[in-house]
Chain A
Amino acid sequence: MGRLLLLRLAGAVPVLLLVSVVSFGLMRLIPGDPSAAIAGLSATPRMVAQIREQLGLDQPLLTQALHWYGGLLQGDLGRSILLGQSVFWSTMQRLPVTMALSAYALAITLVVGIGAGVLAALRQNTWVDQAAMMVAMLGISVPNFFLGLLFIIWFAVGLGWLPTGGYIAFTDSPWGWFQTSTMPAVSLALLNIGLLARITRSTMLEVLRQDYVRTARAKGLPRHLVVGKHALANAMIPITTVVGIIVSLLVSGSVVTETLFSIPGIGQLLTSAVLGRDYPMVQGGLLLVTALLVLVNLGVDMLYAVLDPRIRYER
């Protein structure tokens, strides 16, 4: 197990390194002078020069790279222009919001997605199966921002059940958090529910055909034990691999969902950074979020090894 962890960590290092190169390179690809773009149209040449110096863009590329990596080693990702704060801290401040929202959406996804997939597989080719798969197809086809807008029209404006936007931290008021997070979390979850339900259904169908399921049934085990203990436990292995992808999709989705519902998370932070040409924030935020996702995937890999002993003894 420890060996596997080391192996996977060693595999993650070159990926992280390349991710940092891409993040660094991206800002250098800006056509023309980003300092002028940041300063705006009415800026004097002196202001532009000042920004250029502040960003270190007057230095040769190698010096810039050394500076960037020197900073990275000390956990310094630079300074946000819009917020005047360190990129690291502005991201860390908003991380709990995005994490809470993603966790909520992930919980909905797992419960509904796996539930619908298992149900569809058990009732294969009945109306239950067809209805579940139709909803799953709808889930992977409705854009989450469109769904979010419809939710606002129906549940916030029409019925007045939930606020149209804004965010209350769980630690301030659990009920307030629940009210402000439910619409965003559900609209984030729907795509992933669709994906997970489809994958769960097909893996369950495969597992249910296996000999050990037939044996379990033949020896007279009650149905819920056959399904829960023998079939689902084995189907969980391929399902786990999808969770890493789902977390990445949730983070992607949070960009537009947070903007739509005015939730002060990482997605909103990066969107406003992009629109406000806050390049150090974009560069550092992109790197930080991606590095966190690489770690999440590492965790999923380890979980996979815990669930499937065959992986542990590989090589």
Chain B
Amino acid sequence: MSDSPARATIRRLLRHRLFVTGLALFLIVLVLAALAPWITTVDPTKLSIRAKFKPPSMDFVFGTDNLGRSLWSRTVWGARLSVEIGVAVVVLNAIFGTLVGAISGYFRWADAPLMRINDALMAFPAILLAIGITAVLGPSTENVILALAVVYIPRTARIVRASVLVLREMEYVQAAVAAGAGHARILRTHVIPNALAPLIVQLSFLFAYAVLTEATLSFLGLGAVPPTPTWGNIMAEGRQYMIEAPWIITIPGVLLMITVMGLNLLGDGLRDVLDPRLRLQA
């Protein structure tokens, strides 16, 4: 009996056509990322000048680039990096976004200072701030994750704060206060669990933004350093040859699109099922 609400939610999700489509699209990318070491036989950085600019064929499923590197290997390893970065940014947001949002929404004294800092960070255009941070720290995977976390945590914190502001006034919270529960316990057992639905919805969209922004940064030359393949830097390198070898930019571009669309559909579905109040906010 106790697991029936969870089961009911899952059943409703699986009946949601868009959610299932999104899940399927995202799973394609997740499977590629997870199996990268086993489904690629060629080193993604291995040069082979004789095999350069090969269009997709039986030998090279996705073709080769200007240096004869296998695009199958490169995009699959790129998928792995995108997923790793997405997961890292989502986890950092889940932890710090919840922390900042919960403290700000729950303790009145903390609200104004924390939200002013939040407002200032959100005032920067997302990509410009991310570029500024990676420029200062130097281009690397870790720094991209850090930059994306700094850019997106304020946005997550806002959403958590909004739910906590409402939950704080609930009768069961007042009852817990009256029963002598401490702030930490109230937050942990009564407030945060009830703020999870909008957070989960936000995190699925955030995963999409993180993957997209990472690709943009590495397209501009500010992501992981080549020869490490990322979808963004594969496209940046392929840009010079996009007329003769359009597959170099098209394959990672389409995979990027599949990932982002899958996560957006997933987020829409989660929002419809978990948090119907939010449906009107599109």
- Please list the residues of chain A having a beta carbon within 8 angstroms of any beta carbon in chain B: 14-15, 18-19, 21-23, 26-27, 29-31, 137-138, 140-143, 145-146, 149-150, 152-153, 157, 195, 198-199, 201-203, 205-206, 248-249, 251-253, 255-256, 259, 270-271, 274-275, 277, 279, 282, 286, 289-290, 293-294, 297
Which of chain A's residues have a CB closer than 8 A to the CB of B131? 255, 270-271, 274
Also in contact, A252 and B256, with CB within 8 A (given A29-B136, A153-B243, A275-B221): no
Which of chain B's residues have a CB closer than 8 A to the CB of A252? 125-128
B219 at the interface (CB under 8 A from A): yes
Within the complex, what minimum Cβ distance (angstroms) separates A304 from chain B?
16
Within the complex, what minimum Cβ distance (angstroms) separates A69 from chain B?
16
A-B interface, 3 closest residue pairs, ranked by CB to CB distance from nearest: A18-B120, A141-B261, A146-B253
**How far apart sit A205 and B242, CA to CA, in the bound complex (Å)?**
43
Which of chain A's residues have a CB closer than 8 A to the CB of B280? 202-203, 205-206
Which of chain A's residues have a CB closer than 8 A to the CB of B129? 286
Which of chain B's residues have a CB closer than 8 A to the CB of A279? 135-136
Determine if A248 and B125 form an interchain contact, defined as CB atoms under 8 angstroms apart: yes
Within the complex, what minimum Cβ distance (angstroms) separates B183 from chain A?
27
Within the complex, what minimum Cβ distance (angstroms) separates A5 from chain B?
18
Determine if A256 and B235 form an interchain contact, defined as CB atoms under 8 angstroms apart: no
The A/B interface has a contact count, at CB < 8 Å, of 135
B102 at the interface (CB under 8 A from A): no
Also in contact, A153 and B242, with CB within 8 A (given A31-B137, A255-B127): yes
* CB-defined A-B contacts under 8 Å, sample of 16: A23-B132, A26-B136, A31-B137, A138-B261, A141-B257, A142-B260, A145-B235, A146-B235, A153-B242, A201-B282, A205-B280, A248-B126, A255-B131, A270-B128, A275-B220, A289-B128
Which of chain B's residues have a CB closer than 8 A to the CB of A206? 280
B212 at the interface (CB under 8 A from A): yes
Which of chain A's residues have a CB closer than 8 A to the CB of B246? 153
Which of chain B's residues have a CB closer than 8 A to the CB of A31? 137-138
Also in contact, A15 and B116, with CB within 8 A (given A143-B215, A145-B216, A146-B257): yes
Band of interface residues on B: 35 or more
**How far apart sit A304 and B276, CA to CA, in the bound complex (Å)?**
26
Determine if B279 and A202 form an interchain contact, defined as CB atoms under 8 angstroms apart: yes
Determine if B135 and A274 form an interchain contact, defined as CB atoms under 8 angstroms apart: yes
Which residue of A138, A203, A256 is within 8 Å of B216 (Cβ)? A256
Closest residue to B124 on the A side, CB-wise? Answer: A290
**How far apart sit A143 and B243, CA to CA, in the bound complex (Å)?**
19
Which of chain A's residues have a CB closer than 8 A to the CB of B119? 15, 18
B249 at the interface (CB under 8 A from A): yes
Within the complex, what minimum Cβ distance (angstroms) separates A82 from chain B?
13
Which of chain B's residues have a CB closer than 8 A to the CB of A270? 128, 131
Which residue of B132, B138, B219, B281 is within 8 Å of A256 (Cβ)? B219
Query: Which of A31, A143, A293 is packed against the most chain B CB atoms within 10 Å?
Result: A143
**How far apart sit A157 and B244, CA to CA, in the bound complex (Å)?**
11
Which of chain A's residues have a CB closer than 8 A to the CB of B235? 145-146, 149
B199 at the interface (CB under 8 A from A): no
B87 at the interface (CB under 8 A from A): no
Determine if B256 and A146 form an interchain contact, defined as CB atoms under 8 angstroms apart: yes
B256-270 contacts to A, CB under 8 A, are: 256-257, 260-261, 264-265
Which of chain B's residues have a CB closer than 8 A to the CB of A274? 131-132, 134-135, 222
**How far apart sit A205 and B282, CA to CA, in the bound complex (Å)?**
11
Within the complex, what minimum Cβ distance (angstroms) separates A256 from chain B?
5
**How far apart sit A137 and B19, CA to CA, in the bound complex (Å)?**
13
Which of chain B's residues have a CB closer than 8 A to the CB of A277? 135
B35 at the interface (CB under 8 A from A): no
Also in contact, A282 and B257, with CB within 8 A (given A199-B282, A252-B127, A290-B125): no
Within the complex, what minimum Cβ distance (angstroms) separates B205 from chain A?
9
**How far apart sit A21 and B116, CA to CA, in the bound complex (Å)?**
12
Which residue of A143, A253, A259, A294 is within 8 Å of B220 (Cβ)? A259
Which residue of B116, B256, B281, B282 is within 8 Å of A143 (Cβ)? B256
Which residue of A141, A275, A289 is within 8 Å of B264 (Cβ)? A141
**How far apart sit A274 and B132, CA to CA, in the bound complex (Å)?**
7
Which of chain B's residues have a CB closer than 8 A to the CB of A289? 125, 128
Determine if B264 and A137 form an interchain contact, defined as CB atoms under 8 angstroms apart: yes
Within the complex, what minimum Cβ distance (angstroms) separates B129 from chain A?
7
Closest residue to A195 on the B side, CB-wise? Answer: B282
Closest residue to A14 on the B side, CB-wise? Answer: B116
**How far apart sit A201 and B282, CA to CA, in the bound complex (Å)?**
8
Also in contact, A19 and B123, with CB within 8 A (given A14-B116, A29-B136, A146-B249): yes
**How far apart sit A27 and B136, CA to CA, in the bound complex (Å)?**
7
Within the complex, what minimum Cβ distance (angstroms) separates B156 from chain A?
16
Determine if A22 and B121 form an interchain contact, defined as CB atoms under 8 angstroms apart: yes
Determine if A286 and B132 form an interchain contact, defined as CB atoms under 8 angstroms apart: yes
Determine if B242 and A152 form an interchain contact, defined as CB atoms under 8 angstroms apart: yes
**How far apart sit A252 and B130, CA to CA, in the bound complex (Å)?**
10
Within the complex, what minimum Cβ distance (angstroms) separates A268 from chain B?
11
